[in-house]
C-alpha cells in the first residue's frame, strides 16, 4: 500500500505550466494525499488522472476575462480529492468551469455517425454524456496539444475498468464538471456478495452491486426476446447466470420468487438472476488465466473457508456485453 500523494505530487507543476501556456489563472487544491491504495493501482492510475486534470484546465475552465463577464472569480478552481469509502478509494476531480453541453455531444455523435438524429434526440442528458468516452470523440472546436484529437477519454475509461473500477461524470452547463472514480483499494482482496447458482457459488464484487431484489417470477417480462424487469419505472435487462455459465438451477430455487442482483458500471444497470443469496465476504482473488485462459464472464476464483472454489464474476464485462 502507498499514499496516493505519490501521484498527486505530479499535478501542481503540470497545471501551472498548462495554465501559463493557455493564459488562465488556476487554483489547484489537492485533498486526501495520505489516502493509501495498492501499489499496482497507483502505477496505472497516474496517467488517467493527469488526462482528466488537463482536460479540466483546457476544456473546462474559461479564461479570466470570460469568467469575469460571467460573474465568476477570475481565478478558476480545480479540486482533486481522494478518500476511502468501504473497500474502495474514491477520487474526485471537480472544476468550476463551463461544464459539458449535452446538446453539443448529441450533435457531434450524429456528425460522427455514431447515432441517427432521432436516436440522439431520444437520449437523456446522462446517456448523451456517455459518448465522451467513445474512441475518437471530441467536442473541442480546435485541436491543441492537450485536446481536440479525440483520444484519451476512451483510454481513461478502459484503464479504470481494467482495474475493476468505475468512472462517472456529473456536469452542469455554466457551473462545472465532476469526474468520480471508484477504485479497489487492493487488487488481491475484494469484498464480494456470495450468490448461489445451482450448486456453484458465484462471487459478485460488492463495489459493482447496487441492490438486491426478490421479484415475482410473473413480473419478469420479455422485450425483443430478451428478459427484462421494471424497477421504479426503469427497464433493466435481466441476465440469468445459470444460462451464461451453463449451470443447472436447482428445482426449489424459485419457490419464493426470483433473486436478482442489480449491478452497475458508471450509469449502466442490469439485473443478474441468481438462485440464492449467501452473504458478504472478503475474498482473495486467484487468477484463472494460467490454467484455463480467459473465461468470458469470469475474472478469477477464490477458495472459500470450507475448501470449495467459488468463481468471481467479471461484472464490468457482463454489463458492457449486455449494454452493447
Averaged pLDDT, 72-76: 94
What are the pLDDT digits (tens) for 90-117?
999 999 999 999 899 999 888 888 888 8
Which class is 189-323 in CATH? mainly beta
Distance in angstroms (rounded) separating the CA atoms of residues 260 and 278:
13
Q: Mean pLDDT over all residues of the chain?
A: 86
Q: Where in the chain is the domain with CATH 2.40.50.180?
A: 189-323
Query: Regarding beta strands 166-172 and 176-184, do their DSSP bridges make them parallel or antiparallel, or are they unpaired?
Result: antiparallel
What would the 3-class secondary structure string for 119-156 be? HHHHCCHHHHHHHHHCCCCCCCCCCCCCCCCCCCHHHH
Beta bridge partners of 234: 231
Q: The C-alpha cell of 171 is what? A: 456536469
Top mean-pLDDT range of 6-10, 135-139, 186-190? 6-10
Whether 15 shows a pLDDT value over 60: the answer reads yes
Cell of 54: 488537463
Is the distance from CB of 179 to CB of 99 less than 8 angstroms?
A: no
* Range with top average pLDDT, 32-36, 193-197, 219-223: 193-197
Can you say how many angstroms the Cα of residue 241 is from the centroid of all Cα atoms in its chain? 22
2-100+139-184 has which fold? Heat Shock Protein 90 (3.30.565)
Higher pLDDT, 71 or 316: 71
pLDDT score at 214: 93
By residue count, the chain amounts to 324
By 3-state DSSP, what share of the chain in percent is helix, strand and coil, each rounded to 5? Answer: 30, 35, 30
Share of the chain above pLDDT 90, in %: 48
pLDDT at 139 over 60: no
Q: Which helix (H) or strand (E) holds 48?
A: helix 39-55
CATH 3.30.565.10 positions along the chain are 2-100+139-184
Q: Which of 322, 191, 197, 204 is nearest to 268 (CA)?
A: 322
CA dist., res. 138 & res. 47, Å (int)? 19
Query: Distance of CA 1 to CAs 38, 42, 46, 297, Å?
Result: 5, 9, 15, 28
Whether the per-residue pLDDT at 141 is higher than 60: the answer is no
**3-state SS class at 320:** helix
Q: Which residue has the higher pLDDT, 233 or 253?
A: 233
Residues 314, 81, 84, 172, Cα dihedral to 10°: -60
pLDDT in tens, 292-307: 767 788 888 899 988 8
Amino acid at each position: 500500500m502507498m499514499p496516493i500523494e505519490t501521484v498527486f505530487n505530479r499535478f501542481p507543476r503540470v497545471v501551472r505550466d498548462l495554465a501559463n501556456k493557455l493564459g488562465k489563472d488556476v487554483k489547484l487544491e489537492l485533498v486526501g494525499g495520505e489516502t493509501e491504495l495498492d501499489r499496482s493501482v497507483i502505477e496505472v492510475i497516474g496517467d488517467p488522472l493527469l488526462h482528466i486534470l488537463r482536460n479540466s484546465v483546457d476544456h473546462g475552465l474559461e479564461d479570466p476575462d470570460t469568467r469575469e463577464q460571467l460573474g465568476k472569480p477570475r481565478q478558476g478552481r480545480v479540486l482533486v480529492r481522494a478518500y476511502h469509502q468501504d473497500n474502495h478509494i474514491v477520487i474526485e476531480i471537480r472544476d468550476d468551469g463551463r461544464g459539458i453541453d449535452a446538446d453539443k455531444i448529441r450533435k457531434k455523435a450524429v456528425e460522427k455517425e455514431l447515432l441517427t438524429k432521432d436516436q440522439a434526440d431520444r437520449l437523456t442528458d446522462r446517456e448523451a454524456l456517455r459518448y465522451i468516452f467513445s474512441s475518437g470523440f471530441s467536442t473541442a472546436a480546435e485541436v491543441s496539444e492537450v485536446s481536440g484529437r479525440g483520444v484519451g477519454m476512451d483510454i481513461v475509461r478502459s484503464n479504470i475498468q481494467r482495474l475493476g473500477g468505475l468512472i462517472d461524470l456529473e456536469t452542469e452547463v455554466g457551473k462545472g464538471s465532476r469526474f468520480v472514480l471508484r477504485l479497489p483499494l487492493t487488487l488481491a482482496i475484494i469484498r464480494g456478495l456470495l450468490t448461489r447458482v445451482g450448486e456453484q457459488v458465484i462471487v459478485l464484487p460488492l463495489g459493482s452491486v447496487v441492490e438486491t431484489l426478490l421479484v415475482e417470477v410473473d413480473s419478469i417480462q420479455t422485450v425483443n426476446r430478451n428478459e427484462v424487469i421494471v424497477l421504479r419505472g426503469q427497464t433493466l435487462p435481466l441476465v440469468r447466470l445459470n444460462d451464461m455459465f451453463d449451470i443447472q438451477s436447482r428445482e426449489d430455487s424459485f419457490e419464493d420468487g426470483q433473486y436478482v442482483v442489480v449491478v452497475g458500471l458508471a450509469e449502466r444497470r442490469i439485473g443478474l438472476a441468481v438462485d440464492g443469496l449467501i452473504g458478504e465476504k472478503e475474498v482473495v482473488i486467484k487468477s484463472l488465466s494460467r490454467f484455463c485462459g480467459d473465461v468470458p464472464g469470469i475474472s478469477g476464483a477464490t477458495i472459500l473457508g470450507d475448501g470449495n472454489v467459488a468463481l468471481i464474476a467479471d461484472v464490468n464485462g457482463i454489463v458492457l456485453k449486455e449494454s452493447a
